[in-house]
Amino acid sequence: MGACFMCQRGYRAVVAVGELARLGGPGHEAIEIPLYACGACEGQLTLMIADALRSPVRPYVPEWHPH
Ligand SMILES: [Zn+2]
């Protein structure tokens, strides 16, 4: 049980889906944050990952775009 990092709905059944890691450097320490997601979001993540694997090459989208 824990908080889902995707929907942040708080205390619910979650599974570990990965880990957020940041290397240490000047001014900050190295951190590793385990990521937990609820069942619904885990399914969503699985879809996102499958999608990303299907089309690994994506054009770079700059911060600004003319809309
Ligand atoms: Zn969730």
pLDDT at 30 > cutoff 90: yes
**Separation of CA 34 and ligand 1 centre (Å):** 15
pLDDT at res. 58? 64
Tell me the two tokens of residue 54: 């299907």
Q: What is the pLDDT of residues 41-66, one digit of tens each?
A: 999 988 988 888 887 666 676 677 66
- Ligand 1: centre distance to CA 47 (Å): 14
Burial class (CB in 10 A: 0-12, 13-18, 19+), 36: buried
Instruction: Give this prediction's pTM.
Output: 0.58
Residue 37 to residues 8, 48, 53, 56, Cα–Cα distance (Å): 9, 14, 20, 24
pLDDT of 6 higher than 90: no
